[in-house]
Structure 1
Amino acid sequence: MESRALRYFVAVAEELNFTRAARRLGIAAPALSRAVAGLETDLGVRLFARTTRSVRLTEVGALLLADARAALVALDAATLRARRAAGVTDGRLVLAVKADVEAGLLEDVLAAYATEPAAVPVEVVFTGWREQPRLLRAGEADVAIVVEPFDTDGLDVEPLLREPQLLALPAGHPLAGSPRLRLADVEAGHRPAVPGAHVYVRHGEQRPPFGDMVQMLRQIELGRMVALLPASVAARNARPQLTWRPVEDAPEAAFAVAWPQHSHSLAVAAFVRIATAVAADRPADACTLRATGATDSGQVRVVP
């Protein structure tokens, strides 16, 4: 079975009209009809029930449609990965980052990368939580700044820097005024939303929905959850309704740059080199931030 036949089949299945499908594919309707009939002959099944007035999928055709879509997505992803691994792109480098979760490195790395001889224009794609590895494996991104741990299957990784994590609390939370906090204090009234997560909800409650940092912080302000977040996130998100507190035994946030294994792109290699150099040049106190909590004005004071 050829991929072209599958693409023709999917177009007809989605349009349920040979004329519209042919127009979408840029071919003649009779040629499309013959191609679909040939696919049915090769498979030995009827995919469409056709009359002079209508086209509809058979039960077998509906089953094939789901698999055909998945197969074409996988094929397209494999093509993208192969081209990116060989450095054959459309003249740009796609960088995947979680908005506001890049240790404050993004602007400096982009500025330094732009001076590199091998640099190409960078498209920054802001992602949801833990989406960067999937985009790299699918060939939809060339390189990513990530927070460990994450799924490294099929990826190469270079560490960048580490920084403390702070507990984000609603301003009136009972823990907001504690002089010293440990994870046991947090877990006395909360549980991880999922095993290993740094988002905590009250016992017996479920994690509220959120899709980005703004939504996440709003849920914390409303008292729906608390969360351990990198200190650089706290420094950039001082809000009157939030209190940021250090937790003595909280794990550090470890940032890294990741890219697909076997990538031969000079642009990716230059980006990785620049990102590690910028992180290494970061002053030591910038990598060891700690917050003293919210002031009366609601601002977070961050000191070395």
Structure 2
Amino acid sequence: METRELRYFVAVAEELHFGRAATRLGIAQPPLSRAISRLERRLGVELFERTSRAVAITQAGETLLREARAVLDAVEAAERRTRRAARATPGQAAVVLATKAGASTELLAKLLDAYAAEPDSVPVEVLLSGIGEQSRVLRDGRADVALLHLPFDDVAGFDSEELHTEGQVALLPAGHPLAARPHVVVADVTELPGLPLPRWPEPDGTYLAGPGPQAHDQAQLLQLIGLGRACAIVPESGRVIVTEGVVAVPVLDAPRVTTVIAWPPHSRSQAVAGLVRTATSL
């Protein structure tokens, strides 16, 4: 299979419409249809069920979709890391560490300080990405290593080490009755009238999503909570981002969150290995 064929297939699988997929790819529909048919003949399977009204992906197609995304991510990662290696100063290539903006802040600061003190350390570029993006930037080569959070982030296909496990807290407006309690349960927070959980553009589960106003990052989230327009449940380490007008209350029955450091299993980077060793020693 060629990467071009896989890109064609992924576009059709995601759009479930040959016309929209062709527009997305910038090609005409007939050659796209022929390419998918050739791929099906070569594999000896039916990837899509086609009718005059709809296109549906088959079980075999679902399997190829998962595999094709991984392959295309790997190709993109190889391109990015190769270009970055070419730009780096010999022997001093920086390592890129991805993490959620505002998440595991204290752990991240300790990790960076401890690693910088190592005699063979290299510069660390911290990539602060949005909600739900950390696994993606690690897969596609924008990052070499990442701090991820279980059970929310996808660590499939990565090597990883557990670093820290914590509970969760509810972020509430300071004047709300629940803000004065020593603790709450999830149902207390998710069923608050007039104070909904926010919507996220790419929800990954780290923060519970609801029907409230959309928040793109933690700064927007804190402003919405301070204005009495939303509430949120976040890992306990999120206390460090609490601003005036927002109170953090422990949530007794929320699932515990485990921070892990993750990297591609084929990585042979000495810098990544050193960063992982430092992280696990903290």
The within-5 A match list for 1:164-175 is: 164-175=167-178
Structure 2 residues without counterparts, runs of 5 or longer: 4-22, 33-68
Aligned ranges 1:169-188 → 2 under 5 Å: 169-188=172-191
1:244 aligns with 2:248: yes
**Which residue of structure 1 aligns with residue 208 of structure 2?**
199
Whole-Å separation in 2 of the counterparts to 1:231 and 1:118: 33
Q: Distance in 2 between matches of 1:207 and 1:187?
A: 11
Q: In the TM superposition, what is the alpha-carbon distance from 1:140 to its structure 2 partner?
A: 0.9
Query: Does the alignment pair 1:277 with 2:281?
Result: yes
Shift of residue 127, structure 1, vs aligned partner: 0.7
> Which residue pairs with 1:41 in the alignment?
none
Structure 1 residues 98 and 196 mapped into 2: Cα distance closer, same or farther (>3 Å)?
closer
- 1:49 corresponding residue in structure 2: none
**Structure 1 residue runs without a partner (length 5+):** 4-58, 279-304
**1:135 alignment partner AA:** V
- Displacement of 1:73: 8.7
1:208 to 202, 206, 213: 213
- Cα gap change, 1:191/1:207 in structure 2, threshold over 3 Å: closer, same or farther? closer
SS at match of 1:228: strand
2:226 aligned residue? 221
Once the two structures are TM-superposed, the CA of residue 131 in structure 1 deviates from its matched residue by 1.0
| 8 Å CA contact 2:73, 2:140 repeated in 1 | no
- Aligned alpha-carbon RMSD (Å): 3.6
Letter in 2 for 1:63: I
Structure 1 residues 83 and 268, CA gap change in structure 2 (3 angstroms): farther
> Secondary structure of 1:262's partner?
coil
Output the CA distance in 2 between the equivalents of 1:124 and 1:210.
Answer: 22
**Residue 27 of structure 2: which of 57, 60, 63 is its match?**
63
2 CA distance for matches of 1:142 and 1:195? 20
The answer (yes or no) to whether the contact 2:198–2:212 under 8 Å persists in 1 is no
CA contact (8 A) 1:221 1:241 kept: yes
Aligned letter for 1:186?
Answer: V
Aligned partner of 1:268 in structure 2 is: 272
TM-score by length of structure 1 reads 0.60
In the alignment, is the contact (CA less than 8 A) between 2:153 and 2:206 conserved in 1? no
CA-CA distance at 1:145 after TM superposition? 1.2
Q: Return the match for 2:126 from 114, 117, 124.
A: 124
TM-score by length of 2: 0.64
Does the 8 Å CA contact 1:200/1:226 hold for their aligned counterparts?
no
Q: Does 1:153 align with 2:117?
A: no
| Structure 2 CA distance for partners of 1:192 and 1:176, relative to 1, 3 Å | same
Computing the radius of gyration over CA atoms, which structure comes out larger, 1 or 2?
1
**Which is strand-richer, 1 or 2?**
1
Residue 115 of structure 2 is matched in structure 1 by: 113
Contact 1:133 1:150 in 2 (8 A): yes
Distance 1:107 1:248 in 2: 27
Q: Deviations over 1:83-107 (max 9, x none)?
A: 89xx888311011111220251122
1:199 and 1:225 in contact (8 A); partners too: no
SS of residue paired to 1:256: strand
Distance in 1 between the 2:134 and 2:87 partners?
19
